[in-house]
Homo-oligomer: A and B are copies of this chain.
């Protein structure tokens, strides 16, 4: 399970991620070629594709982890907690978690975020990642509140919350310098959507 083989693979994976992110930040996403990324990690170009499905995939290396975290959070609601409260807590936890992460030598949460929001290809990929996440969360929420929320309502709630936050953050990106300011915009937008949801019951 933790043989040499396994450890080596993890090392290669990390090397690829760091090589890629570093190059993307330095010279831009489109300008970086797969050959360069692979060279930076000391593997052949072909090997990249046994670790990641595509060039943009490497930027979203921790998506699964985050998704599982979010789902498990929605799956176990404390009794008496309304869907709106639960979703509010989800947003809070996610923002806190994002700020805390520092697993990679190279990585800086803010640099990666700006990279994603800046490069069109990555922004597009982020939209689909976020979309898939929402779909999964809506289903989980529907199961958690099986008696109270239809799938349509659960989807509408999750979609409204994420849609609100997403658009507000981007619309205000020019005015927000620090990560803190961005998180603040996110919280305000979440409040708009959540206040609406609470008024429904």
Contacts and interface: CB of A to CB of B under 8 A. Distances in A.
Nearest to A134: B167
Interface string A188-201: 11001101110110
Given A159-B164, A166-B163, A193-B160, A128 B124 contact: yes
A115 interface: no
A172 B139 CA distance: 11
A41 interface: no
Interface in A150-201: 151-168, 170-172, 185, 188-189, 192-193, 195-197, 199-200
Q: Is the interface of A mostly helix, strand, loop or mixed?
A: helix
Interface string A123-146: 111011001001100110000000
Interface residues of A, number: 41
Given A138-B171, A139-B171, A151-B172, 15 more contacts: A123-B128, A124-B125, A124-B127, A131-B166, A135-B170, A153-B192, A154-B171, A155-B167, A159-B164, A159-B189, A160-B161, A163-B166, A193-B193, A196-B200, A199-B199
Closest 6 CB pairs of A and B: A196-B196, A163-B163, A159-B167, A199-B199, A155-B171, A159-B163
Interface of A: 123-125, 127-128, 131, 134-135, 138-139, 151-168, 170-172, 185, 188-189, 192-193, 195-197, 199-200
